[in-house]
Amino acid sequence: MKIDPWSSSTYQDYENLRKEFGIEEFTEDLWQYLPRPHRLLRRGIIFGHRDFQKILEAIQNKQPWAILTGLMPSGRMHLGHKMIIDEVVYYQSLGADIFIAVADIEAYGTRGFSLSETKELAVNEYIKNYIALGLKPERCHIYFQSKNTFVKDLAYLLGKKINWSQMTATYGFNGATNMTHVFSPLVQTGDILHVQLERFGGIRPVLVPVGVDQDPHICLSRDIAQAHRLYNVIKTKDDKIGIFVKPDNDIIPLLDNAEKIVSSLGFTEFKRISDYKALYLLKAKESDICKIDKALALSEPEFQGYGFLQPSATFHRFMTGLTGGKMSSSKPESAIFLTDSPEEAKKKIMYAKTGGAVSLEEQRQQGGKPDECIVYELFLYHLIDDDVQLHDIYHTCRSGDRMCGQCKKEAAELVGGMIQQIAEKRNLSNKVMDAYLD
């Protein structure tokens, strides 16, 4: 099985997906240490991650970190898209620098949109709604791929350490794939890594919150980041921590530098193994690797390296469409759009598939199935922040004390109110738009 970032497939079995692709589970062990953990984190909607530990450490130690995510401006913004921004707004409240890429090159290369069409959609559909959803302009940068020289330059330069076989194996490209499409994963790598360039805040942990369809790009960016490092820090076969200088670099000055850095971290017992271009730390533990690697990364620009830390990622589930299948802009009846009128949105809920039984009688006796209910999913993802209240809905549904008609009405009222509030804030967004755009 392969994840194809450009297909419209839906995923059901997230657990299997995690196992197959080596994505870590996003458990309570991680979110319980975050301030005011967001409902999407508490409720397993963000079900997986790569390297989130790094972000947690930065937050706990009050060190700088950043969020980078991207949007493909290829249709109207719906509740599925809202999830990412809810996350971003939360992380902004924890102190992250925020970067949002408008993937206009990708939309042009893979979906056939013109750059001016994507600009119009990005501003009017997405960015206005982002502002309405509470994104603040401070330390927040929204940019277009096609206008960002740093991103495009990195895409060219970083491509050096990836070859065509790797690209075809990852993405299934073939002789008929257009070259802008082929290039778009490298542009996305440029998006993800450019925030660690000096002028964008320098080397620091970066979290990329995305849907799981983006995992191939995450892996590519992580591989490329590591491939461009000057040092590799690993546990050796004889259980030592080894710092290896990558081939084609100046060995002696880099080993001198490594000695200086590990000493300053308090590791004073080490041995240089010139044959291996390595420094072995005799008393370091595996749990020290992260700290050592970060300190070395920070020194790499002095030696003409980038020092990129491997980016972290979280993966969220996709929202089910109101009629089943995936919520998608191309099927208007499947999605609630943020620019729907409150009446339209309410009406859509009344048609949504539920987990109710065939008759009221049967539902009273056997209860409903909230886990298979799209109305419940709306409560879970968007409408009810209070966990106690959500549990109550869940249990009264299961026990047969809650009927779908009334339940849908409650959901419709909440959706209507939410959409109304977003619309009011969106109408004020024009005035402040410039503060967000680079």
Closest contact distance (angstroms) between CB of 293 and ligand TRP is 23
Nearer to ligand SF4, 190 or 356 (CB): 356
Closest contact distance (angstroms) between CB of 397 and ligand SF4 is 3
CA distance 163 to 376: 46
Classify the C-alpha dihedral 113-117-123-128 as positive or negative: negative
> The tokens of 126 are what?
């997405």
Three-state DSSP class for 346? helix
- What are phi and psi for residue 260, nearest 5 degrees? -60, -45
Closest contact distance (angstroms) between CB of 71 and ligand TRP is 6
Closest contact distance (angstroms) between CB of 245 and ligand TRP is 31
The closest of 228, 232, 233 to 194, measured between CA atoms, is: 228
Which of ligand SF4, ligand TRP, none does 408 bind, CB closer than 5 to 8 A by kind? Answer: ligand SF4
Closest contact distance (angstroms) between CB of 314 and ligand TRP is 11
Which of ligand TRP, ligand SF4, none does 69 bind, CB closer than 5 to 8 A by kind? Answer: ligand TRP
Closest contact distance (angstroms) between CB of 437 and ligand TRP is 16
Nearer to ligand TRP, 90 or 394 (CB): 90
Nearer to ligand SF4, 45 or 373 (CB): 373
8-state DSSP, 159: G
Angle, to 10 degrees, between the axis of helix 289-299 and the axis of helix 52-60? Answer: 80
List contacts with ligand TRP (CB under 6 A).
5, 68-70, 72, 101, 103, 106, 188, 191-192, 208, 210, 214
Which of ligand TRP, ligand SF4, none does 192 bind, CB closer than 5 to 8 A by kind? Answer: ligand TRP
DSSP annotation string for 23-82: PEE--HHHHTTSSS--HHHHTTSEEEEESHHHHHHHHHTT---EEEEEE--SS--BHHHH
Which of ligand TRP, ligand SF4, none does 319 bind, CB closer than 5 to 8 A by kind? Answer: none
List contacts with ligand SF4 (CB under 6 A).
354-356, 368, 370, 373, 375-376, 397, 402-404, 407-408
Nearer to ligand SF4, 245 or 397 (CB): 397
Nearer to ligand TRP, 106 or 125 (CB): 106
Beta strands 241-245; 278-281: pairing state = antiparallel
Which of ligand SF4, ligand TRP, none does 354 bind, CB closer than 5 to 8 A by kind? Answer: ligand SF4
Nearer to ligand TRP, 8 or 341 (CB): 8
Which of ligand TRP, ligand SF4, none does 407 bind, CB closer than 5 to 8 A by kind? Answer: ligand SF4
Give the burial string for 399-433 (b: 16+ CB within 10 Å, else e): ebebbbeebbebbbebbbebbeebbeebeebeeee
Closest contact distance (angstroms) between CB of 375 and ligand SF4 is 4
> The tokens of 386 are what?
């209070």
The H-or-E segment that residue 316 falls in is strand 312-316
412 Cβ neighbours under 8 A, 6+ residues apart = 345, 346, 349, 350
DSSP annotation string for 177-229: S-HHHHHHHHHHHHHHHHTTSGGGT-S--EEEEEEGGGHHHHHHHHHHHHHT-
Three-state DSSP class for 5? coil
Closest contact distance (angstroms) between CB of 259 and ligand TRP is 37
Which of ligand SF4, ligand TRP, none does 404 bind, CB closer than 5 to 8 A by kind? Answer: ligand SF4
Closest contact distance (angstroms) between CB of 69 and ligand TRP is 5
> The tokens of 324 are what?
């089943």
Which of ligand SF4, ligand TRP, none does 190 bind, CB closer than 5 to 8 A by kind? Answer: none
8-state DSSP, 351: T
Nearer to ligand SF4, 179 or 358 (CB): 358
Nearer to ligand TRP, 86 or 191 (CB): 191
